[in-house]
Chain A
């Protein structure tokens, strides 16, 4: 194989998925842009954003890859009417790990902003943790449903589930991640856990 041909094949294979995630990323950006007020009012919120988005990507692409491998190996059947117990366990594990990582991220943001004098002091810790947990629960439930349904349905129609998972998680993960972060900000502020914002 000559480098030119390798490059052309790799380019053609990757462009559709990259374009799809570009659209998702831009929508996510507009949501983030719309949160400017909250970002200014809640110190630590912007610092939390990359960790929360990456957690969605890491947890749910691993869930998707797990379901894809199980389909390939015939461990689970591509149907949702008889839900396999192992599939339920895998989804529950993804949700639990996602929530643990989100709360851990909130704690790490709080500690580092309290220690680093160059950055603004963080919002109250309970507020940040509740915010991360609410956002993690809402986006986690949504992403679980979207990914499991899409991978099973895609497999039934003859798509390779391995190539579906990556673009699907990157397009939906950021959008739902930020949308539900916005919802979580509203809820957490409404119950008074984030100070006077």
Chain B
């Protein structure tokens, strides 16, 4: 663990390289946002959806990743389709997405309506939020499984590697999936 040496230099050496790589990845997702900027600016409820969709996708991924990492540390996990820890956690992620994203959509629409009037109808915003959310949950499960498995095979500390990689990958996927959902469902 890099936590024992608390000097600016040591902390920077341990975190800055990864941070800069993740920043570049996030600029990539910013470019996707830039690609549908005019649509977002025309429909404020979609703009309101951006931070909450990215954040929730990242959270779903990081919760799953940290649970899988802990199970890995404790030796509770086996990478087979029959593994109950894997199946149970994957199921929970999908159920969480199914619970949260309808609220995200309704909240985004209601707040836009309150703060200046929504342009899209409630069903349209709900379609985008729920469609994007469920697709993201499936992707988050996949990314978390692959990253945890890679950390296990490469003998990396899953806490140091898996959670940041999964969170940022899900951030980026959040923007891409939102873009597709707006194109297909709005």
Footprint of B on A, CB under 8 Å? Answer: 1-11, 14-15, 17-19, 21-22, 24-26, 28-30, 32-34, 36, 39-40, 44, 46-51, 53-55, 57-59, 62, 66, 69-70, 75, 86-87, 89-90, 92-94, 96-97, 100-101, 104-105, 108-109, 112-113, 116, 118-120, 166, 170, 174, 178
Interface string of B51-69 (1 = CB under 8 A from A): 1111110111011000100
Q: Known contacts being A19-B100, A26-B107, is A51 close to B27, with CB within 8 Å?
A: yes
B181, chain A: closest CB distance, angstroms: 15
B51 contacts A53, C-beta separation under 8 Å: yes
Name the contact of A1 in the complex, choosing from B24, B84, B103 (C-beta under 8 A): B84
B128 to chain A, nearest CB (A): 13
Q: Kindly identify which residue among A36, A94, A105, A112 contacts B23, using a CB–CB cutoff of 8 Å.
A: A105
Chain B interface mostly helix, strand, loop or mixed? helix
Kindly state the separation between the CA atoms of A97 and B107 in the bound complex, as whole angstroms.
34
* Interface flag for B154 (CB, 8 Å): no
The total of Cβ contacts below 8 Å across the A-B interface reads 227
Are A11 and B92 also in contact (CB < 8 A) when A97-B12, A105-B27, A170-B59 are? yes
> Can you list 27 A-B contacts (CB < 8 A)?
A2-B84, A2-B88, A7-B92, A14-B63, A15-B96, A22-B52, A22-B104, A24-B55, A25-B53, A30-B112, A33-B44, A36-B47, A47-B31, A47-B34, A49-B33, A50-B33, A50-B172, A51-B23, A54-B168, A55-B26, A66-B11, A96-B8, A108-B24, A112-B31, A118-B35, A119-B34, A166-B62
B185 within 8 A of A: no
A26 touches B30 (CB 8 A): no
Distance in angstroms between the alpha carbons of A66 and B99 in the assembled complex: 32
Instruction: Answer yes or no: B48 CB below 8 A from chain A CBs.
Output: yes
Return the chain A residue nearest B82 by Cβ.
Answer: A3
Q: How far is the CA of A39 from the CA of B41 in the complex (A)?
A: 8
| Residues in B neighbouring A44, C-beta threshold 8 A | 34
Q: Are A58 and B19 in contact, CB atoms less than 8 angstroms apart?
A: yes
Q: Is the CB of A26 within 8 A of B108?
A: yes
Q: CB-CB < 8 A to B48: which residues of A?
A: 26, 29-30, 32-33
B6 and A89: CB pair below 8 A?
yes
B12 A96 Cβ-Cβ under 8 A? yes
Count, chain B residues at interface, CB 8 A: 70
Ranked nearest first, the 5 interchain pairs of A and B with the lowest CB-CB distance are A6-B88, A25-B52, A29-B48, A10-B92, A47-B30
Contact of B30 among A5, A94, A109, A174 (CB under 8 A): A109
> Would you call B122 an interface residue if the criterion is a C-beta within 8 Å of the partner chain's C-beta atoms?
no
**How close is A116's CB to chain B, nearest CB, in angstroms?**
7
- Beta-carbon nearest neighbor of A6 in chain B: B88
**Cβ A104 vs Cβ B55 within 8 A:** no
Least Cβ–Cβ distance between A10 and chain B, in angstroms: 4
Contact A22 B100 (CB under 8 A): yes
A92 and B8 within 8 A (CB): yes
Q: Which of B26, B44, B50, B91 contacts A7 (CB 8 A)?
A: B91
